[in-house]
Amino acid sequence: MPLTEEQQAAIAEARANPQPTLRAVAPGMEAWMHAAIPVLDHGLIRVVDYMGDDRAITQAARVSYGAGTKHVSSDEGLIRYLMRHWHSTPFEMCEIKLHVKLPVFVARQWIRHRTANVNEYSARYSILDREFYIPAPEHLAAQSAVNNQGRGETLQGEEAARVLEILKGDSTRAYDNYEAMLSQDGQAGLARELARMNLPANVYTQWYWKVDLHNLFHFLRLRADPHAQYEIRVYADAICEVVKDWVPMAYGAFEDYRLDAVQFSGKAMAVLRRRLAGEVVTQEDSGMSKGEWREFEGALG
Ligand SMILES: Cc1cc2nc3c(=O)[nH]c(=O)nc-3n(C[C@H](O)[C@H](O)[C@H](O)COP(=O)(O)OP(=O)(O)OC[C@H]3O[C@@H](n4cnc5c(N)ncnc54)[C@H](O)[C@@H]3O)c2cc1C
């Protein structure tokens, strides 16, 4: 279990003492509150707190549009309109705070999303746990031959076994040395802020991450996407399941207009119009590069 005993006790206490509130409550989200959702081999996400629901979005939109929204018959229609027209600020009225436990190399990608508030476990103050991400055999893949930023076929047989052995051995050795340097048994003991520099990037860290729904959707669009690295995508996929229950209307609009949608360039639109008029168009006379053409054909399935 990736939670410490203290964390589990704090969660049990929080769940045992529900408080009556006048604040907006999203019933779907209440079920996720405090529960640890396992991700990767030692990671997790856990909803610590949230603010707002689908109605918070429409409420804010109706303040800004006033009588102009009266013709929109339902909250769902209004939310879909907002998403379709990139009216982002009503979505900023909802917020979520997550406790995330993740390998450091995933944290480096995650932290690039600047529009969130983060508080990370201090490895200057505390000693990191002996927990390292070791990929499951099916995720131990070779370098992709077509995409410099991607992976290809799964490693097989002896090579897979050797790589796993290296990953496990190096992690264990690095942590043994970390402990040996920290030890104050018969020596001064190296400062925690220095001893940590010897740990590999697959060691786990933890943080609290608070973000509004607009910026969370931006994060999810980039990280729940097949182009994102598997190890961050699984976190984004888990968050998607939570958001689906928290703000079902907003998530439905996000799924439709962002996750499942495709953006076409002006050149791509011209090709589509020519094709609809019955013309056979090839990459050579499309005005698109080979790469663009490949992505365009891929988007059309
Ligand atoms: C598949 C993939 C591959 C990637 N590869 C690389 C890579 O090789 N190297 C690399 O360095 N990064 C890489 N990244 C990271 C990427 O470039 C972004 O840094 C990251 O996705 C965060 O996106 P963001 O800046 O839009 O998000 P946020 O920081 O959350 O910002 C959200 C939006 O707010 C606005 N914004 C925020 N801060 C500013 C600012 N200071 N000035 C102006 N506008 C701002 C922008 O409109 C931005 O889109 C990759 C990301 C993905 C998804």
Q: Which residues are catalytic?
A: 223
The closest-lying atom of ligand 1 relative to the alpha carbon of residue 115 is 30
Atom 32 of ligand 1: nearest residue by CA position? 115
Our CA angle for 274, 279, 281, nearest 5°, is 80
pLDDT tens digits, 103-156 = 999 999 999 999 999 999 988 889 999 999 999 988 887 777 777 777 778 878
224 Cα: distance to centroid of ligand 1 (angstroms): 15
pLDDT grade for 67, boundaries at 50, 70 and 90: low
Amino acid 14: pLDDT: 83
pLDDT value at 71 more than 80: no
pLDDT for the residue numbered 3: 78
Using the mean position of ligand 1's atoms as its centre, give its distance from the Cα of residue 181 in Å. Answer: 37
How far apart, in whole angstroms, are the C-alpha atoms of residue 257 and residue 144? 30
Could you tell me the distance, in angstroms and rounded to a whole number, from the CA of residue 233 to the centre of ligand 1?
16
| Cα of 113 from ligand 1 centre, angstroms | 6
| Per-residue pLDDT at 1 exceeds 50 | no
Q: Which residues contact 162 (CB under 8 A, 6 or more apart)?
A: none
Whether the Cβ atoms of residue 299 and residue 262 lie closer than 8 Å to each other: yes
Which residue, judged by its Cα, is nearest atom 49 of ligand 1? 218
Tell the residue nearest (CA) to atom 8 of ligand 1. 149
Distance separating alpha carbons of residues 157 and 167, to the nearest angstrom: 16
Q: Report which ligand 1 atom has the smallest distance to the Cα of 222.
A: 53
pLDDT higher than 90, residue 17: no
Residue 60 near residue 179, CB atoms below 8 Å: no
What's the gap in Å between 98 CA and the centre of ligand 1? 20
Q: Which residues contact 266 (CB under 8 A, 6 or more apart)?
A: none
pLDDT value, residue 200? 96
Query: Mean pLDDT of all residues in the chain?
Result: 92
Pocket of ligand 1 (CB under 6 A): 112-115, 215, 218, 222, 227-228
Task: Give nearest CA residue, ligand 1 atom 2.
Answer: 228
Å from CA of 112 to ligand 1 middle: 6
- The pLDDT tens digits for 165-203 are 999 999 999 999 999 999 999 999 999 999 999 999 999
Residue range 244-281, pLDDT digits in tens? 999 999 999 999 999 999 999 999 999 999 999 999 99
Within 8 A by CB and 6+ apart from 32, the residues are 47, 242, 245, 246
Is the pLDDT at 2 greater than 90, yes or no? no
Question: Over the stretch 281-292, which tens digit does the pLDDT of each residue have?
Answer: 999 999 999 999
Percent of the chain at pLDDT > 90 equals 78
> Which of 126, 103, 91 has the alpha carbon at shortest distance from 211?
91
Pocket test for ligand 1, best of 114, 117, 118, 151 (most atoms within 8 A of CB): 114
Residue nearest to atom 30 of ligand 1 (CA): 113
Atom of ligand 1 nearest to the CA of 228: 1
